[in-house]
Amino acid sequence: MLIYTEFKKAVSANGYEGNVMKTSTSNSTWQNDTRRSFEVPVRNEAGYCSEPECSCGNAVILKGTGYLHISQKVVDFRKDCPTPRELLYTLNTTQATLGCFETFVLDHGAVYPRLLCKQAAIRHQLSLEVAAQDAANWWNTGEVPLRSTPTSFSI
């Protein structure tokens, strides 16, 4: 369970101004959330194909387009840290438990979904319709569904 404490300026009914402490547990609200999605910051400009073995040469993907590949690894990792704040907390906690003389290697593909061109999406045998809808939704809202992208065979 993650616990956050926030301090905010507040003005009481009698005009007293001061700091108010608010403590919340984010996992309890996340477990009650029916959206079942997680947040990934959206770029303000175009993206690039993130498939390292794609022959497109990191093709430019215009904002609002492309195909989003959500792996099961991403789903498994992000189910406990759906917001960027919780992700940062999880990564910092992991590093702190290792101590100052040890490091852990962060697999970017296990933390974030990958934005792909059509050629790479076909190579991964993704359902093009679902992957394109996921990408369009992510570009518009910053939300990614908490499920792996179905393959063209699983639909």
pTM summary value = 0.72
Q: Do strands 47-48 and 17-25 pair parallel, antiparallel, or not at all (unpaired)?
A: unpaired
Task: Spell out a b/e string for 130-152, using b for 16 or more CB atoms within 10 Å of the CB, else e.
Answer: bbbebbbebbeeebbbbebbeee
The 10 Å Cβ neighbour count of residue 99 is 8
- Nearest one of 46, 48, 37, 51 to 125, comparing CA atoms: 51
> What's the mean pLDDT when you consider all of the chain?
80
Instruction: Dump pLDDT digits (tens) for 17-67.
Output: 444 434 334 443 434 444 589 999 998 899 999 998 899 988 999 999 999
pLDDT digits (tens, 9 = 90+) for 74-91: 999 999 999 999 999 998
Mean predicted confidence (pLDDT) in 95-118: 81
Choice between 43 and 101, residue whose per-residue pLDDT is larger: 43
Tokens for 148, please give them: 């792996």
Residue 134 scores a pLDDT above 90? yes
**pLDDT for position 71:** 95
Q: What is the DSSP letter of 15?
A: S
User: Residue 61 forms beta bridges with which residues?
Assistant: 47
* Separation of alpha carbons 127 and 115, rounded Å: 14
> Residue 22's beta-bridge partner residues?
6
Q: What's residue 110's pLDDT?
A: 82
